[in-house]
Structures are given as structure tokens and as C-alpha cells.
Amino acid sequence: MAARKPVRWHIAVFLAPAVAVYTAIMIVPLFGTLLQSLFNTDGQGGRMFVGLRNFATLFGDALWSRQFWNALGNNAWFFVVHMLVQNPIGVALAAILSTPRLRMAAFYRTAIFIPTILSFVIVGFVWKLILSPIWGIAPGMLDMVGLKSLFAPWLGKEEYALTTLALVSVWQFVGIPMMLIYAALLSIPDEVIEAAEMDGITGMSQFWKIKLPLILPSIGIISILTFVGNFNAFDLIYVSQGALAGPDYSTDILGTFLYRTFFGFQLQLGDPYMGSAIAGAMFGIILVGVCLYLFGIQTRLRRYQF
């Protein structure tokens, strides 16, 4: 008679505190918000069930839909800038820092990663001061290299403000993809590198032909983390441009739109029911993006893993 496998009860014991905390501060509020999005005021101080009417208002009403699609479009551009600037720079920095002959690599890694641990409030306030046309140091620094004519009040112009803030966010968080890709490069077996060198594949050719295909799964993970992080963004825009996300809502993203709607701002009264609908729409967008990655991209990248 085969011996019964021991019940690994200790796994549940160790996981229980983390699961309880996560459920209390994430899962329960999430379902509570989704449920609240199905209600609205009844005009007498109470609430009534309205189904998907709040979402119909959000997508169909001219006033709401204009703000929503503007915020969604800005969010998409915010994400595109990170994908096209932050992640390629992170990969390039990781490739350079993983070079065995590079001196002071640890210092460079630390210096690049330090902005990541800074508060959004500090980063937003400092960069707002740096870029100020009145007392900022950006005009003087450009003047030192003969490029002062290129300076403009980037945070005050509709066509530049969102891109400027996206680049500030790139500066702050480029250390995260750099470290993740750096770790992935170090995990490549030495036998693979030695075999490539024996075949005469070295330098940049080795990176493009050997290393890059092997770290594609890590790049995929970084991409989806960037997607989730950008569509949950709020702090930097709020600190730099306020809840109105000026100038003229040109930096308004879903996070700031949700904040104004749910809590109210200045003369705008808070509407928790429409705010919950916006939060539900954000959850749906993120869920669809994550599912597309998991089922459409990750399965194709597994072939490169060891």
C-alpha cells in the first residue's frame, strides 16, 4: 500500500497573512468599486441600481465621452513614450553595464537606479523648478552649450506638456528595466556565450543574435509592467500640473480624470458612481491588455527560455 503524501499545511499558513492583507486592501475594494459602478443616486439621498447606465453615459454622453477619450488618448501616448524611449534605453544600459571589462559598473548601476526610489512629489516638484522659464536652470544649461534658442516653456504648452512629463517619468524609472534586463543577461549560461565566441560571434553581433532572443521573455514582462504602471499613473501628473492636468487638459490621463470625478475638485462636485464607472473602465482596459499579453505573446516567447 502506497504511503500517503504528507499534507503541506505550512504552505497555507505562510501564505495566509499575505493573502488576507491583499484581499482586504485590493480584492474587496476592487469588487466594491465595480459593484458601485452599477448604482447611481435616486434623487432623494439614496441610491438605486442602474445597471450599465453609468458606462453608457461615460461612453455616449458628449460631455463625459470627450473627457474620457481625451484622457485615454493621453494615457496611450504616455505609454508609447515609455515603450519607445524607456525600455530601449533600459536594454541598452543593461547591455553596456553587463560588459565584463567595464569599470565602476556598480557605481553606474546605483546612480541610474537611485531616481527610482525617489518620491513622485520630489521628482515632480524638482523638474517643475528645473523647467521653469523664470527661475529654472534649464535655460541657462542650454545657453552654456549654445542651444538656448531651443528652450520653451514645455510644461506650459499643450503640444509639449504630456511628452515632457512622460520623459521625466522615463528618467525616473529607466532603472527598473535596466536592472531586470541586466539580471536576465547575467542568467545566460556561460556555455552559450563561449560557443558563440568560438563561432566568431562577438560584440554587438553577439548581443543581437544570441543575447537578445534569450532575454525576450524578460522584455515582454517589462512591457506588460510598463503598460499596467502607465495606465495606473496619477502622481506625477497631479504633482506637476494639478488635478486639472493643464494646460487645457492636455496632460489629463485616466488617473487624474478619475480623481476629479470621484472626489471632486474646485467647483466640480464629486460623483462616486461615475468615478467607479471610470475605475471599472480602467480595470477593463488593463485586464484586456494583460490577457492579450499572456495568451497572445507570452506563449510565443517561452520557446526562448531555458
Question: What DSSP line would sit under 73-92, residue for residue?
Answer: HHHHHHHHHIIIIIHHHHHH
Please give the tally of structural domains in the chain: 1
Q: What is the distance between the alpha carbons of residues 302 and 297, in angstroms, rounded to a whole number?
A: 9
- Residue 51 maps to a domain: no
Taking Cα atoms as reference points, which of 171, 135, 170, 166 lies closest to residue 153?
135
- Residue 47 maps to a domain: no
- Give Cα separations from 250 to 60, 126, 133, 156 (angstroms): 21, 21, 19, 10
Would you say how long the chain is, in residues? Answer: 306
- Residue 193 maps to a domain: yes
pTM metric for this prediction: 0.89
- Residue 185 maps to a domain: yes
User: pLDDT value at position 22?
Assistant: 93
- Residue 44 maps to a domain: no
CATH number at residue 191: 1.10.3720.10
Q: What is the distance between the alpha carbons of residues 292 and 156, in angstroms, rounded to a whole number?
A: 36
User: pLDDT value at position 306?
Assistant: 46
User: pLDDT value at position 6?
Assistant: 74
- Residue 205 maps to a domain: yes
User: pLDDT value at position 21?
Assistant: 95
Q: What is the distance between the alpha carbons of residues 93 and 174, in angstroms, rounded to a whole number?
A: 9
- Residue 258 maps to a domain: no
User: pLDDT value at position 250?
Assistant: 95
pLDDT tens digits, one per residue of 196-211:
888 888 778 888 888 9
- Looking at residue 269, what DSSP letter applies? P
Q: Which residue type sits at 132?
A: S
Q: Structural domain of residue 224, as residue ranges?
A: 73-252
Digit-by-digit pLDDT tens for the chain (306 residues) are 556 777 778 888 899 999 999 999 999 999 999 999 999 988 777 889 999 999 999 999 999 999 999 999 999 999 999 999 999 999 999 999 988 888 888 899 999 999 999 998 999 999 999 998 888 888 888 888 888 888 889 999 999 999 999 999 999 999 999 999 999 999 888 888 888 888 888 778 888 888 988 898 889 899 999 999 999 999 999 999 999 998 999 999 999 999 999 999 887 788 999 999 999 999 999 999 999 888 877 666 655 454
- Residue 124 maps to a domain: yes
User: pLDDT value at position 177?
Assistant: 95
Strand partners, 265: 268
**For strand 47-49 and strand 39-41, is the pairing parallel, antiparallel, or unpaired?**
antiparallel
User: pLDDT value at position 300?
Assistant: 66
